[in-house]
Amino acid sequence: MQDFNVEIEKSFKNITMRLYDNEVMNVIFHDNCYIDIRDIEEVMIWMKDVANGRMFVNLMEGGYNTDLAPEVREFSASSEENKYTIADAIVISSQAHDIVSNFYVKFNKPVKPTKIFTDRSKAIEWLLEEQRKFRSAQKAS
């Protein structure tokens, strides 16, 4: 990932979480798995410890032949899941990812800014801009 250093990394059964020193949280869904709510609950327990009052921009990358339970999509779009989130960038690499990601954005309507990309670098640029806007708004209030 460009010139960012890994602050902390944790691998779970179906997800790897990688926090970079610029507060980009890289969410990597493993190949050939079904992500259910238990996977997300496990990650959220870890996030609570890692966040320590911080909020992150999330770079989400789907694995090959990976699917998300409907409850996961609903939870991911909710304000409860987004208490550590400034914005989400979803990087797609297949037509299946495109369909699922567009369905998520249009049907689940995430509460935080969410955008779909085919280019990882452009996703990171957008996330860093969203982070900058968020930090500026925080300072102004």
Take residue 130 and report the two structure tokens written for it. Answer: 């969203």
Average pLDDT of 29-47? 94
User: What structural domains does the chain harbor?
Assistant: 6-140 (3.30.750)
Average pLDDT of 125-135? 97
Give me the pLDDT at residue 81, please: 65
Residue (of 26, 98, 97, 84) closest to 55 by Cα position: 84
Over the range 92-131, which residues count as b (16 or more CB within 10 Å of their CB) and which as e?
A: beeeebeebbeebbeebebebbbebbeebeebbebbbebb
Average pLDDT of 46-53? 92
User: Rounded to whole angstroms, how far apart are CA atoms 99 and 104?
Assistant: 9
Beta strands in the chain (DSSP E): 6-11, 15-20, 24-29, 34-35, 56-61, 67-68, 85-91, 114-117
Segment among 35-44, 67-76, 128-137 with least mean pLDDT:
67-76
Terminal C-alpha separation, the chain: 32
pLDDT surpassing 60 at residue 1: no
Residue 14 vs residue 71, higher pLDDT: 14
pLDDT tens readout for residues 51-102: 998 999 999 998 888 888 888 888 887 776 678 899 999 999 878 777 778 6
At 109, the pLDDT band (50, 70, 90 cuts) reads confident
pTM higher than the cut 0.75: yes
Give me the pLDDT at residue 108, please: 75
